[in-house]
Amino acid sequence: MRADSHPLRATSGLAALLVVGALIAGCTPTTVPTQSPTATATPRNFTVLTTGEITTADPAVATGDTDSIVVTSLYQRLMVVLPGTGELKPDAATDCLFTSNLVYACTLPDTLKFQNGNVLDSSDVKFSIQRALRLDTPGSSVLMLSALKRIVTPDAHTVRFELSWPDNQFGFALAGQAAGIVDEQTFGPDTPLPLAQRPIGSGPYSVDSISGTAAVFTKYTDYVGAKAGLLSSLTLSIAPDSVAAEEAIAKGTADVVWRSLDNAALQRVDNEIAGSTDKATAKGFTAFPLPGLRVTQVVWNADSKLRRNADLREGVSKALQPDRTLDSIVPVGVTDHASAFALGGRPKLPKLDGDRIYLTLGYSPSAPGHADLASILRDRIEELDGVSVRLVTSGSADLWLTDQPAWVDNAIGWLQRYLTDPLPGSKNKLDTLTTRARTTTGTARTATLTELQQQAAADATVLPVSQADGIMFVAKGVTLVGEPFGSGQVLGLWGITRG
């Protein structure tokens, strides 16, 4: 809130006396200068800083890191997966459960409404799920809804999902980002929401303004759920690069800096903290511990013709092995993680016959440290005889470096990136294994998930690289409360507070 300012004013009596005195002396009256109001700085809004432009606020099409922060805090889903424990809990729903092997039913409270005042009922849920399936955004969580056959809404507070087969992952699918609930009166059924149009959700925060470089949020006071916002307002601000993010820490112009820092900047900030007596930077920033949160992978583009070359896929996987520190596409710490990829050593690289192969390796320049890592990976891959690698930051590429988390933090969720684009020769086997994993429990399910991870290593279309701590720095007095991350380890703005 802008502080009031009170300009100093000379009293009319004093002004009159000065004028009279001047006239008596036969002099020209003295003019009393008008005092300008004292400028008062507007308090800076609580600021969360990250890199990566905002491109959409539509949950059905959002796949980027920053877009995911926006939609995670703006929209509700019927269910949510608690990070760390992997437990499935109700979000917008009061409860969801299987009423039979093929029917998953959810009940809505009668107090739900959107941020524009419209009632949120079963019709909006049905509209939102069907809309996400129609838009079918590549790389989104929509694939996890594959068992869905039909949605029935017998009344305003009941949603019944009829399934084609008994899917033990369907509740997790409803926690995925693409299953965000939107207002059917304001969203088009077949087109993404333009960024210029104000998004309307029912989550803990509403959006006051949004652009590619910033979004201003206000706490939604009529929110119904377990993740109410703690701050009355905040700004999600986009830094153009690591230099700007490091400067924000040095000058104290942000309250939370998320991801953003490249390797050199991260080391400089870490050194400053380690060398200080109070274990903080000069402006009071400290590192917030997020162990194992950042998982890096190299993913083959399904449209690349070179992906069909089995020897090349094997060669790339082996070329990355000496630097690999994660042994599966399911991270360590996730239930049913199984070792599948070889680590370290000096593997014998295969010889590739034929003409020289020219690969492109893409990465996001806003992803912290990826420019340096992409250069290292390029050098490793070029150790294959007859292979050249060119780095790109836009357009199409044969391989992509990514640290985007799974939409749902469990084994099936992490396997989706691999299962979305199976190799033709593996498709039938993967379909069988996936159905078995989603219809069984206990040791049978664990064995199937292990086999899926081993098959992922054999196909080598998604390659694990590393698992490291998340990168977050918080200003003095700032903390994260409860479960500050969504189902897919996406930062949620609701859990951030000061004091």
pTM: 0.88
Give the per-residue pLDDT at 36: 55
Give the per-residue pLDDT at 40: 57
| DSSP-assigned letter for residue 85 | T
Give the per-residue pLDDT at 483: 82
Give the residue extent of every domain in the chain. 56-179, 205-290+470-498, 294-468
Give the per-residue pLDDT at 189: 96
Q: Within the chain, which residues score under 70 in pLDDT?
A: 1-41
Q: What is the token pair recorded at 22?
A: 């001047």
**Are 407 and 140 within 8 A, CB to CB?**
yes
State the amino acid at position 183 in one-letter form.
D
Q: What is the dihedral angle through the alpha carbons of 474, 499, 492, 260, rounded to the nearest 10 degrees?
A: -10
**Are 137 and 145 within 8 A, CB to CB?**
no
Give the per-residue pLDDT at 37: 56
**Are 239 and 265 within 8 A, CB to CB?**
no
Dihedral of alpha carbons 376, 408, 177, 456, sign:
positive
- Assign domain 294-468 to its CATH architecture: Roll (3.10)
Quickly tell me which residue has 């006396």 as its tokens: 17
Coil, strand, or helix at residue 400?
Answer: strand
Distance of CA 278 to the CA centre of its chain: 31
Please report the DSSP string for 169-191 in residue order. THHHHTTSGGG----TTTS-SSS
Tens digits of residue pLDDT in 203-244: 999 999 999 999 999 999 999 988 999 999 999 999 999 999
For residue 132, what are the CA distances in angstroms to 56, 59, 75, 127?
14, 8, 14, 9
Give the per-residue pLDDT at 34: 52
Rounded Cα–Cα distance for residues 14 and 114 (Å): 59
Q: Which residues of 51-63 are buried (b: 16+ CB within 10 A; e: fewer)?
A: bbebebbbbbbbb
The residues pairing with 107 across neighbouring beta strands, listed in sequence order, are 95, 158
**Are 451 and 328 within 8 A, CB to CB?**
no
Confirm whether 205-290+470-498 and 294-468 share one CATH topology: no
Specify the CATH number for 56-179; select among 2.60.40.1730, 3.30.360.10, 3.90.76.10, 3.40.50.2300: 3.90.76.10
Q: CA neighbours within 13 Å on the CB side: how many for 442?
A: 1
Q: What is the dihedral angle through the alpha carbons of 203, 209, 212, 217, rounded to the nearest 10 degrees?
A: -40
Class of domain 205-290+470-498: alpha beta
Give the per-residue pLDDT at 86: 82
Tens digits of residue pLDDT in 453-484: 999 999 999 999 999 999 999 999 999 998 88
**Are 389 and 359 within 8 A, CB to CB?**
yes
